[in-house]
Structure 1
Amino acid sequence: MTAPSIAEASRTPGAGAGSAGSRYLRHRWVGFSLRRLGGLLLSFAVLVTVTFLIVPLIPGDPAVIAAGEGANPAQIAAVRAELGLDLPLLTQFLNYASGVLRLDMGASFISGESVSALIFTRFPFTAEIALLAIVLVLAIAVPLGMAVAILTRGGRNRWLDAGFNFVTSLIYSVPQYVVATLLVVVFAVTLRWFPAAGAATLNSLVLPTAALMLGPACVISRIVRRETAAVLEKDYIRTAHGWRLSVLRTNARYVLPNLVTTTLTLSGLILAAQLGGAVVIETVFAWPGLGQGIVNAILQRDYPVIRGIILVLGLLATLIIILVDLILAIIDPRNLGGTTYDV
Structure 2
Amino acid sequence: MARLALRALAILAGTIFVASSGIFFLIHLSGDPTYGFLPVNTSPEIRESVRDRLGLDQPLVTQYVMFLRDAFTLDFGYSWSLRQPAAEAVLRVFPATLQLALIGTVSAVVVGVVLGVITSARRSGPLEWVLSATTLVGLAIPGFWLGTLLILLFAVELGWFPSSGSAGLRSMVLPIIALTLHPASMIARLVRANMRDVESTMYIRTARAKGLPARAVQWRHMLPNAVLPAVAYVGLHAAGLIGGAIVIESVFAWPGVGRMALQAALERDMPVIHAFVVLSAVMVTMVNILVDLTAMAIDPRLRSSQVMSHAT
**TM-score of the aligned structures, taking structure 2 as reference length:** 0.90
**Structure 2: tracts of 5 or more residues without a match:** none
Identity score, percent = 35
Q: Call closer, same or farther: CA 1:330–1:232 in 2, change over 3 Å.
A: closer
Secondary structure of the residue that 2:74 maps to in structure 1? Answer: coil
* Aligned counterpart for 1:320 among listed residues 287, 291, 306: 287
Alignment check: 8 A CA contact 1:51 1:311 kept:
no
Cα distance, 1:95 vs structure 2: 1.8
Cα distance, 1:107 vs structure 2: 0.8
Residue of structure 1 in register with 2:70 after alignment: 99
* Aligned counterpart for 1:122 among listed residues 93, 108, 126: 93
- More displaced stretch, 332-341 vs 203-212: 332-341
Deviation per CA, 1:121-147, whole angstroms, max 9, x where unpaired? 111111111110111112211111101
Q: Call closer, same or farther: CA 1:230–1:86 in 2, change over 3 Å.
A: same
Deviation per CA, 1:269-325, whole angstroms, max 9, x where unpaired? 223321221010011111111110011111222111112112211232133223322
1:74 and 2:45 are equivalent in the alignment: yes
**TM-score of the aligned structures, taking structure 1 as reference length:** 0.82
Cα distance, 1:200 vs structure 2: 2.0
Cα distance, 1:63 vs structure 2: 2.0
Q: How many angstroms apart in 1 are the aligned matches of 2:38 and 2:259?
A: 23
1:56 and 2:23 are equivalent in the alignment: no
Alignment check: 8 A CA contact 2:250 2:259 kept:
yes
2:249 alignment partner AA: E
1:228 and 2:195 are equivalent in the alignment: yes
Residue of structure 1 in register with 2:11 after alignment: 39
Q: How many angstroms apart in 1 are the aligned matches of 2:110 and 2:2?
A: 35
1:276 alignment partner AA: G
Q: How does 1:199-238 map to 2 (within 5 A)?
A: 199-238=166-205
Cα distance, 1:328 vs structure 2: 2.5
Q: How many angstroms apart in 1 are the aligned matches of 2:26 and 2:40?
A: 26
Alignment check: 8 A CA contact 1:282 1:292 kept:
yes
Cα distance, 1:158 vs structure 2: 5.0
Alignment check: 8 A CA contact 2:224 2:298 kept:
no
Cα distance, 1:338 vs structure 2: 7.7
1:54 alignment partner AA: L
1:121 alignment partner AA: R
Alignment check: 8 A CA contact 1:133 1:209 kept:
yes
Q: How many angstroms apart in 1 are the aligned matches of 2:166 and 2:79?
A: 24
2:141 alignment partner AA: V
Cα distance, 1:331 vs structure 2: 4.4
Q: How many angstroms apart in 2 are the aligned matches of 1:184 and 1:330?
A: 40
1:88 alignment partner AA: P
Q: How many angstroms apart in 1 are the aligned matches of 2:306 and 2:165?
A: 49
**CA RMSD, 1 decimal:** 2.5
Alignment check: 8 A CA contact 2:224 2:299 kept:
no
* Structure with max Cα Rg: 1
Query: How many residues end up aligned between the 2 structures?
Result: 310
Alignment check: 8 A CA contact 2:71 2:274 kept:
no
Alignment check: 8 A CA contact 1:67 1:79 kept:
no
Alignment check: 8 A CA contact 2:115 2:131 kept:
no
Q: Call closer, same or farther: CA 1:123–1:185 in 2, change over 3 Å.
A: same
Q: How many angstroms apart in 1 are the aligned matches of 2:36 and 2:67?
A: 21
* Aligned counterpart for 2:269 among listed residues 302, 309, 325: 302
